[in-house]
Structure 1
Amino acid sequence: MGACPANKLPGAPPDIWLRRLLANHLAGGARFPAAMGLPPGQYRELARRLRLDPGPRSAVLQQQDALLALLARTRQPECRALGDWLAQYMCAGAEPLNRLIAAASLGFNHLWQDLGLASRGELRELMQACFPELVVMNQGNMRWKKFFYRQVCLAETGEVTCRSPSCDSCCERESCFAPED
């Protein structure tokens, strides 16, 4: 984990982003599995740390959480590997942001949408505040989910043979996977 002094960060500190993601989840605006993909104890600790009451969720949100958890269960090794990879670049004090981003990366939409953020630009602000080294590495401003999966694949195999999840059904697939010059 990297040190990211708050006075050098152009974005918000990690707890502000964690609070935002948890609030998005609680309001039903994010697409996370149950407990945001965290073990229940870690989820409760995060809510306590951020002073947000997870309270009971509506039946609709409980069904959504359960379905996403069921779908994510088969991809746990992938989620764990992505979370571990992200942890290498995360600012100290941002835990468990790496796990939340990994869980949301298994979603079917753009990462910023599954996190419940307003735009891709807002996701970049989160990345700048909590993973600034990755922002530097992503010089081509590649979409984050694609960037993550390419980097993990390179780290594991030394070549780019892996593909990002859920990209085949995305309406913007061509803009992400256009031939490189």
Structure 2
Amino acid sequence: MTMLAPPHELMAGARLAPAAETVYLAIRAEQTPRALAAPFTAHILACMLTISIVEAHESGEPLSASLGLDRRALDFLTAQWAPGARRFIDLDGEPERLSLDEEETQVLDLLTRFKSDSAPLSAWIASIVARRAMSPRHLWQDLGLIERAELTRLMSEWFPALAAANVDNMKWKKFFYRQLCELEGFSLCAAPTCRECGDFDNCFGEEDGASALARLAQR
């Protein structure tokens, strides 16, 4: 099998960056018993890996910079759920430890506090969501998901108590920061209620747009 050049050896915008469809289909083609038993989880992991792999190859940075997992976590995750992703990854080039800035640390702490269980996969998903939440688009797009409904299902399955608190269906990134503010004991804004806020659509409006993977596929 021909190996692609590892991400850290590629310059930004390199032509050898794999196509999103190629990565996703390669991941989904190799189904582990875990993946077969939990198809939705396998799908969202494939989406997260795909968008992060493509971005890593384009930027020339290690996959960890896009995905938020260190070498050990990435090794276990791909072995258990997505062995097909390994053809696009240089594990030796991935760091043993990650550094997180204060903002990402706070989001990760929030997700960790509300994760569904203590299994490694829950921690890995929390780390991925926290890292991808640092990107500029809607969170479902930053995770490479097909639509926002997939993110809502992800949150309900992996962070059920946190998801249940989003009773008004606030945009997820906005909701994370509101929760962080409330945990610190202060309000995110001065409006008496969300309905009376002049910036209502910024927090609750439609999260339209194409899937990030669809846009990548069109390049």
* TM-score relative to the length of structure 2: 0.54
Could you list the per-position Cα deviations for residues 10-37 of structure 1 after superposition, in whole angstroms to 9, with x for gaps in the alignment?
Answer: x966555334422443355xxx983212
Name the counterpart of 2:87. Answer: 55
Could you list the runs of 5+ residues in structure 1 that have no partner in the other structure? 1-10, 58-72, 163-172
| Cα distance change of structure 1 residues 153 and 37 upon mapping to structure 2, 3 Å threshold | same
Higher helix proportion (structure 1 or 2): 2
Larger radius of gyration: 2
- Listed as ranges, the matches of 1:60-71 within 5 Å are none
| Cα distance change of structure 1 residues 130 and 154 upon mapping to structure 2, 3 Å threshold | same
Report how far residue 82 of structure 1 moved.
1.0
CA RMSD of aligned residues (A): 3.2
User: 3-state DSSP class of the match of 2:86?
Assistant: coil
107, 111, 132: which one pairs with 1:86?
111
Q: Could you tell me how far apart the structure 1 residues matched to 2:115 and 2:174 are?
A: 18
Q: Could you tell me which amino acid in structure 2 is paired with residue 107 of structure 1? A: S
Report how far residue 98 of structure 1 moved.
0.8
Could you list the per-position Cα deviations for residues 104-128 of structure 1 after superposition, in whole angstroms to 9, with x for gaps in the alignment?
Answer: 1100100000000111111111111
Q: Percent identity?
A: 30
Q: Tell me if structure 2 keeps the 8 A contact 1:154–1:160.
A: yes
Q: Could you tell me how far apart the structure 2 residues matched to 1:95 and 1:137 are?
A: 20
| Cα distance change of structure 1 residues 176 and 33 upon mapping to structure 2, 3 Å threshold | farther
Could you list the runs of 5+ residues in structure 2 that have no partner in the other structure? 1-37, 56-60, 90-98, 190-198, 205-219
- Listed as ranges, the matches of 1:101-112 within 5 Å are 101-112=129-140
Name the counterpart of 2:6. Answer: none
| Cα distance change of structure 1 residues 154 and 44 upon mapping to structure 2, 3 Å threshold | same
Name the counterpart of 1:41. Answer: 72
Q: Tell me if structure 2 keeps the 8 A contact 1:21–1:115.
A: yes
Name the counterpart of 1:154. Answer: 182
Name the counterpart of 1:17. Answer: 44
Q: Could you tell me how far apart the structure 1 residues matched to 2:86 and 2:201 are?
A: 38
- Listed as ranges, the matches of 1:162-181 within 5 Å are 175-177=201-203
* TM-score relative to the length of structure 1: 0.64
Q: Tell me if structure 1 keeps the 8 A contact 2:115–2:126.
A: yes
Name the counterpart of 2:94. Answer: none
